Structure 1
Amino acid sequence: MLDSLFTENQISKLRKLGIKSLFDLLLHLPLKYLDKTQIDLIQDISPGGSYQIQGKVTYVKTAYQPRKNLTVVIEDATGSLQLRFLNFYSSQSRQFSEGVIVRAYGEVNPKSLIKEMIHPDYEIIVTDKPLPKCLTPIYALTRGLGQKSILNFVKKTFDQIAKKDTLLDHFPELNIKRNLPDLTKSLRELHMPSSTKPEDIDPYRKKLIYDELLAHQLFFRGLYHQQKNYIAKKIIFDRSLHDAFVSSLEFTLTGQQENCFNEIMSDLGCSFPMNRLLQGDVGSGKTVVATMAALQAIKNGGQVGFMAPTEILAEQHYIKLRDWLNPLNISVEFLSGSISAPEKKIIYERLVEGRIDLLVGTHALIQDKVRFKSLALYIIDEQHRFGVEQRLQIRSNNKTRAHEEAHQLMMSATPIPRTLSMSYFADMDISTINELPPGRQPIKTKLISDSRRNDLLTIIQKHCNEGNQVYWVCPLIEESEVLQLETVENTFQQLSSFFKSQTIALIHGKMKQSEKETIMQTFKAGHTQILVATTVIEVGVDVPNATMMIIENAERMGLSQLHQLRGRVGRGSKQSTCILFYGKKLTDTAKDRLRIIYENTDGFKISEEDLKLRGPGEFLGLKQSGLPSLKIANINKDDDLLALAKSDAEYLLTTKHNDIQSHLQRWISDYQEITRT
């Protein structure tokens, strides 16, 4: 514990750096290392490089116009170097008197016409001070803690470890198997390198990366194995109901849809709960696969919960499922936060009495008042939008009298990159649909600048005159002075003024459920030519005749959202186009996003590129999800170690190694809180 070595004031400052334990302190690794093991000659230094120079002060000047700065010139036997300080104290300026010896380390300013360092690290050399024998670590700091303080704290911790022999490898046999160094030595070398070559540190960093990835694999694969300890209702396949449903569809199932359904049914036939992710690109037909599974659960006397992250998405699922299942005498109901209290009460009563077969809803499904009589399966769409605790809540709230757990099927139209499926999704099985229904043509993507708005309106006019329909998506509902984006209301008014011969409708999330449903159905029926919308139509009903998607301010949206929106068109046999409408000033990240979405139609490729751009934390929303985040490892770069860690975690879990929990507590301090439900 920190309080065994440090004062309350020191502990308070360490906590600002996220340091809560001695191991956290040792994991506060240097951001970089400075090579102060040698003195460079001024004649040998080049702009842009970092060097350590020692010389005598020959000139000092403090100026206040046009801006405050302190200029110091030092010389060695080969030349002179200017040191410049823009922020300094008067005591600093007094240190630099002529004749004083200064040792300075920093980057040579590449923009200066003379040899110059701006704000270098420096010290006044009074006596002949020996040079360091190893690289100098540089740490992230907080107010009141300097570099020397952090390093002294680290040394103090190592002294404590040496006395008590507390920092031991939990799995020393794996060090031998994977040719990895000892944990204590690795940490010591990373804080106080014995070598002057940065590459010599790599094996020690590799050890920590492996240990962290191993902890994550133990966490997620542990959840996977733990699932097998629960009891679930076996779902027996009923051919007659399945055939009746499939024959009622207006389309033919693809081979991959049938394969994924077979994988799901194999899981549902087990006596422990399924934990499966069904992933597939936009428009690949995941919902119908989930519906076939729901039918089997209902036929076996169970109920199904179907949860979506937003009300409009839940509404659209409800409409589709109701239309599919009501003819089969399956009762489907809808529950969300906006439904009136009396209506909710009726749903609660009918649900617990078993008179509702399938309940579709938002987060409202995980409220304590929501009780199923016999929940057999719950389906979660866009599962990455829900946290671990939310996903577990519906399970713990609805155990049957026989203490049976519900089977769990999650869906995602954001394909999971391979490295993420090996790490953050290692607690579940994955089924993939990566083919589109037959007869659909690839969607063309075009980039058009905002300056060509009038040209675009002409294109739309011609498009509608040919009997096609158009989505025009705007990112905001209300005016924002900060973002200065076109609002959906303004766009609706502008388009209504321009397109006199076309019928235009407006839809956004603030409308009533009945209004939105009517507008979408009118558009689907072809009575509306142009639908101006917010991103509520990111996922929703199929409109085969809608063959053009305009995305306003496309540079402001993420890759996943752009790909989802693009997938609203291309639902029929006609050629479809997605136009990304962008503003004048684009950041480098925005340019990258537009380039990636323009060059790729494969959702898996797009998700891989998105992961590279944002990293797993932002890609998954780890702070919201309740998932443990990585401190040292990078799954994009360390996938070779990830594969080894996954294999070794399986071995440790199978053999029930005694130190699994200790390793988890060391690396994922709150893992028990995450899984407490």
Structure 2
Amino acid sequence: MNRRVSDPTAPFPNPLLAPLLAGVDSLKGVRPATARLLARVAGGARVIDLLFHLPESVVDRRYRPNLRTAETGRVCTLHVTVSRVVPPAPGGGRGRRPWRVLVSDGTGDAELVFFSPHLVRRLEAGQDICVSGTLERFGERLNMAHPDYLVPAARMGEIPLLDPVWPLTAGLFSSQVRSAVRAAFDIFPPLPEWQDATVLRQRRWPGFEDALRTLHRPCDLPELMEGDALVAASERARARLACDDLLAQQVAMAQARRLNRLRPGRAVAGDGSLRRVALSRFGHEPTTAQVRALAEIDADLAAPRQMTRLLQGDVGAGKTLVALQAMLGAVEAGHQAALMAPTEILARQHLATFTKLSPVPVAFLSGSVKGKARREALARIADGTARLVIGTHALFQESVVFQDLALAVIDEQHRFGVEQRAMLGEKGPQTDVLVMTATPIPRSLLLTQWGDMQVSRLDVKPAGRKPVRTSLHALSAMDDLLAGMERALARGARIFWVCPLVSESETTDIAAAEARHAALAAHFGAESVGLAHGQQDIALREQAIADFAAGRTRILVATTVIEVGVDIPDATVMIIEHAERFGLAQLHQLRGRVGRGRAESYCLLLHDSALGQTARRRLALLRETEDGFLIADEDFRLRGGGDVAGRRQSGLPDMRLASPLHVDMLLTLAAQDARRLVDTPPDQRPPALRAREPAVSLLLELFSRARAVRAIRAG
């Protein structure tokens, strides 16, 4: 393809798109305060974001009967005359008393009911008005409660025959959205067609602008006013826009794959000398899964292309040993390797393991490394003296400069953002990236399904590892739970209790960790219960965890700070409060904090009594399996795969215009078209394909896909 389509780093969008990429505050009649509300509800401040904020339904106001023939239970638009305005009756009583407006049209009478006097006070007897809303019958009288529209009869045309309903936010009204959308179409530029002409003809899809107009402004299209034409036209319009969204995504991914193939890496292959020393210090033979995973990683490292590989294995399956061996291979080849962990606790745990096994010194960098120690660590990393580096988020800071980073390992990758992972990978000239997790986040699972990330799986369970017995319990059974804890403590158990929040919140009824700690301390004794959360000083938090590990406390109340990096074999019970509020990946990781010793271990998932069907199915999956890939697959199915070419890690893959059904129906079509557009050799492209290339560049800009390579490379 030409540069405009194939180069996602092109700095400026096509000027033809300027009206659509401008701020919504540039639209005629849109005030700054309204623009802020529109940006909030639309998920972006551009005009195109507003147009991508599609109505969720359309109210049909074409039924305009008289009162004698009007059918009740449906939306009616009526032309009536005010007979009398009846204010609320004076006196007390519970609740607000309504205003009533008695109306007639010569064929019958009806009553309009208002709980706000705003519109009513402008009405008087004898006035001709038009109202639209749902007509009901109460006793012998027709009734319309708080009409959606009330205008003077002379302005009846202001009531739309087909009335889109947009999702709103506090302070924003449909009339404001309608006005802004109308202004957006007034400046809509003439865009070339990027979809395949044959597909458009076969599926009877409208053009891009007409598809948006069908959904936002159906009254602009007279052909939609007859019968049920709107239903079929809306389905075709939504399908066309969904395919636009998918095509933009698939072209971006195809570009990333092509540029990765064209962008040379470097072969990184060691002689095995350092690895052999590390294995001898380890003292055990690696499992067959570890041997297989390392061979796959070595093959990627030795190839003249950059690696992006996922290493998946449950807690204790041996990911750290594989990572160390891969990193030592890079060191043997004369390069540097770095491992980034999401917490200081986990980073220091890796440091202890690496220091014990590695035949070369290990540098450490985190936010807690200050002063002279930090300056020395930065200098050793910059001059290449430090060949192995372990750290936290501090590793991707601007002040950290590597001499020759060949391999970046990112542990518990779901705890980092896409941008953070990318920043570490960019610390070297042609850095290979290995990401590790016990449960792949849906976003990475999506990458593996679509072939942009290779997977190595450690599927051999550690010797002697017992399954964790998982059960579901309603929070209403707290007394029985406390009694069970007393029995477990009498047997010598140590218990984690995980809460989602740190302090009381006005917006949620989740018991905070501090409140739960106080309650358990009152029940079991303050000396028996510790507290660890993310807002504590790190030394205080680590002391609380150390006290629990040593048995000085028997219960540790914590937030998700213990999700990774906490290895206490004597802890045998994990209690997770309001488990339905956690993601499956988090629940799986938290459960992995127990079952690390020889004793039988238990995980209790506490949930709200009014648990929904989807939430119950998610928790039941944890009860039925400890397989991280099965859990991730269910997470992917329930939550979606995140944004492959962007930054969201869950939800549908940034499909603003495509429903799950559209993804199922149209993904293959979009993927095949994207491959034709990107991968067809220049001398084999038919004229129709070449003619679409400039339009596809516009498509990528409109859907914010023009800079996808960096995100995809980040894993």
TM-score normalized by the length of structure 1: 0.80
Q: Structure 1 residues 241-250 or 356-365, which shifts more?
A: 241-250
CA distances 1:111-170 after superposition (whole Å, capped 9, x unpaired)? 999754332223557479799997333445747963652453255245xx4xxxx21112
Tell me the distance in 1 between the aligned counterparts of 2:282 and 2:615.
41
1:262 to 283, 289, 295: 295
Flag structure 1 segments of 5+ consecutive residues without an equivalent: none
2:605 equivalent to 1:580: yes
Equivalent residue letter for 2:340: M
For 2:310, the equivalent position in structure 1 comes to 277
Equivalent residue letter for 2:402: F
Tell me the distance in 2 between the aligned counterparts of 1:553 and 1:206.
38
Alignment of 1:455-534 (within 5 A): 455-466=480-491, 468-476=493-501, 485=511, 487-488=513-514, 491=517, 494-495=520-521, 498=524, 507-509=532-534, 530-534=555-559
Maintained 8 Å contact 2:72/2:136: yes
Equivalent residue letter for 1:316: Q
2:135 equivalent to 1:135: no
Tell me the distance in 1 between the aligned counterparts of 2:70 and 2:614.
38
Query: Relative to 1, partners in 2 of residues 1:650 and 1:435: Cα closer, same or farther, differing over 3 Å?
Result: farther
Tell me the distance in 2 between the aligned counterparts of 1:249 and 1:178.
64
**Secondary structure of the equivalent of 2:87?**
strand
Maintained 8 Å contact 1:475/1:488: no
The CA deviation at 1:375 is: 0.9
For 1:413, the equivalent position in structure 2 comes to 438
The CA deviation at 1:373 is: 2.1
For 1:71, the equivalent position in structure 2 comes to 100
1:169 to 193, 203, 209: 193
CA distances 1:321-365 after superposition (whole Å, capped 9, x unpaired)? 333x23xx1322321112222110111122223232321111110
Tell me the distance in 1 between the aligned counterparts of 2:593 and 2:462.
14
For 2:699, the equivalent position in structure 1 comes to 663
For 1:342, the equivalent position in structure 2 comes to 372
For 1:31, the equivalent position in structure 2 comes to 56
CA distances 1:615-665 after superposition (whole Å, capped 9, x unpaired)? 66699994799x994422245762332333233323322237643433211
Equivalent residue letter for 1:191: H
Alignment of 1:262-661 (within 5 A): 262-323=295-356, 325-326=357-358, 329-396=359-426, 398-399=427-428, 404-417=429-442, 421-422=446-447, 427-433=452-458, 436-437=461-462, 439-450=464-475, 452-453=477-478, 455-466=480-491, 468-476=493-501, 485=511, 487-488=513-514, 491=517, 494-495=520-521, 498=524, 507-509=532-534, 530-554=555-579, 556-572=581-597, 574-581=599-606, 597-598=622-623, 601-607=626-632, 610=635, 622=647, 629-635=654-660, 638-655=663-680, 658-659=693-694, 660-661=696-697
Q: Structure 1 residues 604-613 or 339-348, which shifts more?
A: 604-613
**Secondary structure of the equivalent of 1:63?**
coil
Maintained 8 Å contact 1:496/1:504: no
The CA deviation at 1:405 is: 1.4
Maintained 8 Å contact 1:297/1:377: yes
Tell me the distance in 2 between the aligned counterparts of 1:119 and 1:8.
30
2:147 to 86, 107, 120: 120
The CA deviation at 1:59 is: 4.8
Equivalent residue letter for 2:700: L
The CA deviation at 1:248 is: 5.0
Tell me the distance in 1 between the aligned counterparts of 2:201 and 2:350.
50
CA distances 1:431-479 after superposition (whole Å, capped 9, x unpaired)? 4456644554432223345565454344334434545443233445566
Q: Structure 1 residues 446-455 or 308-317, which shifts more?
A: 446-455
Tell me the distance in 2 between the aligned counterparts of 1:59 and 1:559.
60
The CA deviation at 1:551 is: 2.4
Tell me the distance in 1 between the aligned counterparts of 2:465 and 2:70.
65
CA distances 1:204-244 after superposition (whole Å, capped 9, x unpaired)? 11111111122122334433433344443312254565455
2:38 to 7, 17, 30: 17
CA distances 1:145-198 after superposition (whole Å, capped 9, x unpaired)? 63652453255245xx4xxxx211124357359846232432333334433342
The CA deviation at 1:578 is: 0.7
**Secondary structure of the equivalent of 2:369?**
coil
Tell me the distance in 2 between the aligned counterparts of 1:421 and 1:346.
41
The CA deviation at 1:283 is: 5.0
For 1:106, the equivalent position in structure 2 comes to 134
**Secondary structure of the equivalent of 1:276?**
strand
The CA deviation at 1:377 is: 0.5
The CA deviation at 1:568 is: 1.3
Tell me the distance in 2 between the aligned counterparts of 1:266 and 1:356.
25
2:112 equivalent to 1:83: yes
Query: Relative to 1, partners in 2 of residues 1:541 and 1:101: Cα closer, same or farther, differing over 3 Å?
Result: closer
2:251 to 206, 211, 218: 218
Query: Relative to 1, partners in 2 of residues 1:488 and 1:637: Cα closer, same or farther, differing over 3 Å?
Result: farther
Query: Relative to 1, partners in 2 of residues 1:521 and 1:394: Cα closer, same or farther, differing over 3 Å?
Result: same
Q: Structure 1 residues 173-182 or 561-570, which shifts more?
A: 173-182
The CA deviation at 1:30 is: 3.0
Tell me the distance in 2 between the aligned counterparts of 1:525 and 1:251.
27
TM-score normalized by the length of structure 2: 0.76
Equivalent residue letter for 1:223: A
Q: Structure 1 residues 303-312 or 127-136, which shifts more?
A: 127-136
Query: Relative to 1, partners in 2 of residues 1:253 and 1:651: Cα closer, same or farther, differing over 3 Å?
Result: farther
The CA deviation at 1:27 is: 3.2
**Secondary structure of the equivalent of 1:370?**
coil
Tell me the distance in 2 between the aligned counterparts of 1:72 and 1:115.
12
2:208 equivalent to 1:183: yes
Flag structure 2 segments of 5+ consecutive residues without an equivalent: 1-17, 683-689
Tell me the distance in 1 between the aligned counterparts of 2:87 and 2:643.
46
Equivalent residue letter for 1:421: L
Equivalent residue letter for 1:373: Q
Query: Relative to 1, partners in 2 of residues 1:439 and 1:620: Cα closer, same or farther, differing over 3 Å?
Result: farther
Tell me the distance in 2 between the aligned counterparts of 1:50 and 1:618.
39
Tell me the distance in 2 between the aligned counterparts of 1:340 and 1:113.
81
Tell me the distance in 1 between the aligned counterparts of 2:27 and 2:537.
58
Maintained 8 Å contact 2:249/2:705: no
Tell me the distance in 2 between the aligned counterparts of 1:620 and 1:466.
51
The CA deviation at 1:284 is: 4.5
Query: Relative to 1, partners in 2 of residues 1:113 and 1:629: Cα closer, same or farther, differing over 3 Å?
Result: farther
Equivalent residue letter for 1:85: F
Maintained 8 Å contact 2:568/2:596: yes
**Secondary structure of the equivalent of 1:39?**
coil
The CA deviation at 1:538 is: 0.8
CA distances 1:539-562 after superposition (whole Å, capped 9, x unpaired)? 124444432112245455444322
Maintained 8 Å contact 1:236/1:269: yes
Maintained 8 Å contact 2:517/2:530: no
Equivalent residue letter for 1:71: R
Equivalent residue letter for 1:202: E
The CA deviation at 1:673 is: 11
